[in-house]
Amino acid sequence: MHLTLRQIEVFNAVARLQNYTRAAEHLHMSQPAVSMQIKQLEEGVGLPLFEQVGKKIHLTDAGKLMYGYGRNIVSLLDEADEVFEAIKGVERGALSISVATTASHFATRLLAEFSKQHSGITISLDITNREALQRQLEHNEPDLVIMGQPPEGVEVDAAAFMENPLVMIAPASHPLVSQTAIPLSHFAQENFVVREHGSGTRSAIQRFFDEHNVPFNTAIEMTSNEAIKQAVEAGLGLGIVSIHTIELELETGRLKILDVEDLPVLRNWYVIQRKGKRLSPAAEAFKTFVLEQAERFIRLPGSSGKERGARR
């Protein structure tokens, strides 16, 4: 059986994405080139690896076996690469980081400073939602992930490095801005602008309201924190977001944090890797950097006791 590494890489991408077009985009190849690599691989194996049912492709039994071997082959090569990079030292190598959209505000500053200190390291950054982060961890794709609550159903090593307070926000002109110690029950009839289902922030907020037996009315769903902030500022509803996503809005006074009893909801930020993953020297250096220095890159105004309390 004569196979090439390129054929295996292309096969792994198609098997993972279950789509020739998306695999071609991911690999920066044309779709005909991807199809040719798969055809040559199937000829080398002597068995069909995919079957098409309707408009979808599925792995055959032989394909499932090949996918297991393919991932092991790539994993061994990655491990070999990491060993050789370790010999070279931490000043060279590559680093693949995936970050939850909510954490992007400080994570980009973290990476910028780390890059200044380690200019020889090539960094790849993906900012995406919780569902995508879980999928990436399942496939052991990034070196490290920065996100809130670690995903369920995936074996990971997670280290908390900083608090992630969730606070209630309103437009600066909202009548509740001047009030203090507002009971949570006051918001039983309020409408909230929220993240989509599956968001870690939304799940935490829903649990919080359920624990306090207060209805949580979702008026509008948004797929990004930027959209939520804009909607709240426009008066479409209140919001509950990570305080780390509203630095600029607090500084400019466009949004205000409401002083609500039992808020903020205190969560944590985690730096996460797939359990058993062997980190390269570059990844180890970045993980240590995050654990030791992340809080230096948070900039929040301390104009009120509530905001200062949320930072502790």
Q: Which residues of 226-241 are buried (b: 16+ CB within 10 A; e: fewer)?
A: eebbebbbeebbbbbb
48 in any annotated domain: yes
pTM of the model: 0.65
Q: Taking phi first (over 0 means left), then psi (-120 to 50 degrees means alpha), and beta for anything else, what does residue 255 get?
A: beta
**pLDDT reported for residue 85:** 65
Q: Of 83, 103, 134, at which residue does a domain stop?
A: 83
Q: Is residue 309 part of a domain?
A: no
Query: Which CATH number fits the domain that encloses residue 26?
Result: 1.10.10.10
* Joined tokens for residue 148: 């809130």
How far is the C-alpha of 292 from the C-alpha of 248, rounded, in Å?
25
Is residue 260, in this structure, part of any structural domain at all? Answer: yes
Distance CA(234)–CA(170), nearest Å, equals 10
Alpha carbon distances (Å) from 29 to 34, 35, 52, 141, 306: 7, 10, 21, 20, 52
291 within domain boundaries: yes
| Together in a domain, 263 and 207 | yes
Domain membership of residue 311 (yes or no) is no
Backbone angles phi, psi at 290, to 5 degrees: -65, -50
Q: Are residues 114 and 248 in the same domain?
A: no
Range of 15's domain? 5-83
- pLDDT for 295 equals 85
Q: How many domains does the chain have?
A: 3
94 lies in the same domain as 153:
yes
Statement to judge: residues 99 and 153 lie in one domain: yes
Is the same domain home to 137 and 147? yes
3-state SS record for 207-238: HHHHHCCCCCEEEEEECCHHHHHHHHHCCCCE
Is 285 in the same domain as 218?
no
Instruction: Output the six-digit token pair for 9.
Output: 């890489």
Whether residue 55 is found in the same domain as residue 71: yes
Cite the DSSP H helix spans in the chain.
5-17, 20-27, 31-45, 61-88, 104-117, 130-138, 200-211, 225-233, 247-252, 281-293, 305-311
Q: Are 282 and 90 in contact (CB under 8 A)?
A: yes
Q: What is the CATH number of the domain that holds 292?
A: 3.40.190.10
Q: Are residues 274 and 216 part of one domain?
A: no
Same domain? 255 vs 274: no
Residue 305 lies in a domain: no
For 214, list phi and psi in degrees, rounded to 5: -120, 130
Last residue in a domain, options 83, 114, 135: 83
- At position 246, the amino acid (one-letter code) is I
pLDDT at 304: 40
Distance, CA of 41 to CA of 7 (rounded, Å): 6
**Which segments in the chain show pLDDT lower than 50?**
303-312
Last residue of a domain, one of 83, 99, 133: 83
**For residue 278, which of 76, 125, 89, 99 has the smallest C-alpha distance?**
76
How far apart CA 189 and CA 183 sit, in angstroms, is 13
* Whether residues 40 and 62 fall in one domain: yes
Does residue 310 lie in a domain region? no
Question: Taking CA 216 as the corner, what is the angle to CA 257 and CA 146, rounded to the nearest 5 degrees?
Answer: 60
Strand partners, 99: 127, 146
Token duo for residue 156: 């990971």
List pLDDT tens digits, range 55-108: 889 999 999 999 999 999 988 888 887 777 665 666 677 899 999 988 888 899
Q: Is residue 115 in some structural domain?
A: yes
- Residues 172, 259 within the same domain: yes
Name the residue type at position 55: K
164 forms beta bridges with 267
Calpha distance 248→241 (Å, rounded): 14
**Same domain, yes or no: 174 and 255:** yes
Beta bridge partners of residue 222, listed in sequence order: 195
